[in-house]
Structure 1
């Protein structure tokens, strides 16, 4: 599969393609037939985190009526069956295109084939699927494994030479970011003295992260945990609440590494309660909308569009916090 590498988001959230020959953009309102707005069904995962809320806002803004779209939005509350049902409803409505942020990677073959049979192109956003890549037109998002590698490399550099007991707050079981962030991190810490003593899903939610961390603390005690690796900021923020309730200091007594770099996470980083954050930029709407228009105009698009992430220490976060949009 050919891969187009995208330049990183500027701090104000602008997107820039680094490769030459990138696909053009149709005029607003062009749906391939010139008959009016482009009707797009967007199947979102839910509203489980600050990242997801920012992603939803970015998509709704990009797929607005002002930009030539008629958006049909559905958030499945992290229920894979409900999300697939929503996509089938989009097909029955005869939308021009479908955009999906898949909750999990598996189980998409049948409904994607139904969309293809109906002549409705599908663009994947944020997360990936295990289905054949001839069932969707393109994907745009982040390199989740690289995010995990970046987080793990920093952990290895900071703590790898000392016996370190780590617990992991996993994302939604079976989701691409949870799978890839775990794999990347594990690869990066291989051969170090960081030992993963427990790992459990917090479903990418703050409440889930708090409950799982409470369980870890009850099982191992504050002195039995040196490091928390959270697959997203919301779970890290929940872990902070649990650690503080246990009478310990997050970021000092128990170190925390997280992924996302949403506003609340960055503020906790600046306050020293999180030690390191790898970015996962949610502002994918503008690029996704451009891809949809290009597909409907029969323009050539790449199968994969990666957006480059940044990473932050507390000092680096303090320098950029006032200019960030999420």
Structure 2
């Protein structure tokens, strides 16, 4: 009898061990399976045709290739239309995603920004606004899973100013065509009431003035960050002022390229120093770098698209996995507590 009880006891213990191990194995397989699912990221872009944003998209695509099975980006073209982007956001929120990266069309409208943040907050999905900086950060600050990744527009303007200071000091005879010791310039500004544009404009000029160089603004034109609009704005200005325009300061490379295209119709900025107007931009897109190497453009400021994409990916994955947002980065939050600033660098011909 004792032997029978012992056999039964051994049998029951063995069965319990098998059940436990099987259950653990199932859980392990389930956990492994969950971890193997890629993080789904919805990336809302202002416009697929924007040259800098296209570079950010390209770098995010490269990150996905380098991290196969870990992340899956889906890109949405806002076509610079608030209604289109809002519809896209609503659809994604309804279908679900793990993370949202948002290059917001309506960033200037405080109420619109807050409305979008409130919608996302209701779903508890982490969101990172990027590149287009809201007029104030209160909407972003109102959501514990909301952040902003961008740049310091003042820094971009300062670097543009420094490029022109150096050009003036080393090549003044070519730039100061009327020999009046004043830098006459045209400003191509991105948008009205755009923080980034206003700061770039302000600090590019103030930096030049602080270096003791007198300036005179001939005209300021808004060209909506667009090559064609900048070309259309520059051509009549050149016909009006001609050689009196010594410098063109563009808030981005797309507009700088448009200005160059306008000038080249009249034989300017094709390599002849006597028929060159000094032009600077911001972004360091490949087309601008090529123009600088050829001597058709004076310089630009690198807005680091690979660094932007990497920051979005790293911070985003930290948010998805409930880690400190800054883990694995070299960044710190600014005084808002929610914004990360990626530094600029100058780009000139060697």
Shared fold, TM over 0.5: yes
* Separation of aligned partners in 1, 2:318 and 2:325: 7
Per the TM alignment, residue 157 of structure 1 is displaced from its structure 2 partner at its CA by 4.8
Per the TM alignment, residue 280 of structure 1 is displaced from its structure 2 partner at its CA by 0.9
1:177 matched to which residue of 2? 196
Matched, 1:308 2:329: no
Local SS of the residue matching 1:221: helix
1:287 matched to which residue of 2? 311
Matched, 1:272 2:304: no
2:82 matched to which residue of 1? 80
Contact 1:87 1:98 in 2 (8 A): no
Count of residues in Structure 1 that have an aligned counterpart in Structure 2: 283
1:50 matched to which residue of 2? 51
Q: CA RMSD in A?
A: 2.5
TM-score (norm 2): 0.73
Local SS of the residue matching 1:237: helix
Structure with the larger RCO, 1 or 2 (CA within 8 Å, 6+ apart) = 1
Gaps of 5+ in 1: 1-29, 316-326
Alignment of 1:114-193 (within 5 A): 114-129=119-134, 130-132=136-138, 133-134=140-141, 135=143, 137-159=146-168, 162-190=181-209, 192-193=213-214
Per the TM alignment, residue 176 of structure 1 is displaced from its structure 2 partner at its CA by 4.3
Matched, 1:240 2:241: no
Per the TM alignment, residue 50 of structure 1 is displaced from its structure 2 partner at its CA by 3.0
1:59 matched to which residue of 2? 60
* Separation of aligned partners in 2, 1:268 and 1:221: 23
Local SS of the residue matching 2:280: strand
Local SS of the residue matching 2:79: coil
Gaps of 5+ in 2: 1-30, 173-180, 327-337
Instruction: Note closer, same or farther for the CA distance 1:248–1:285 as it changes in structure 2 (3 Å cut).
Output: closer
Alignment of 1:8-19 (within 5 A): none
**Deviation digits for residues 21-46 of structure 1, max 9, x if unmatched?**
xxxxxxxxx9xx75832222111111
1:21 matched to which residue of 2? none
**Equivalent in 100, 105, 108 of residue 106 of structure 1:** 108
* Separation of aligned partners in 1, 2:107 and 2:50: 19
Per the TM alignment, residue 115 of structure 1 is displaced from its structure 2 partner at its CA by 0.6
Contact 1:165 1:196 in 2 (8 A): yes
* Separation of aligned partners in 2, 1:270 and 1:35: 45
**Deviation digits for residues 44-86 of structure 1, max 9, x if unmatched?**
1113343222111112333468242333311112223432332
Rg larger for: 2
Instruction: Note closer, same or farther for the CA distance 1:74–1:296 as it changes in structure 2 (3 Å cut).
Output: same
2:99 matched to which residue of 1? 97
Instruction: Note closer, same or farther for the CA distance 1:168–1:67 as it changes in structure 2 (3 Å cut).
Output: farther
* Separation of aligned partners in 2, 1:272 and 1:79: 37
Contact 2:316 2:325 in 1 (8 A): no
2:22 matched to which residue of 1? none
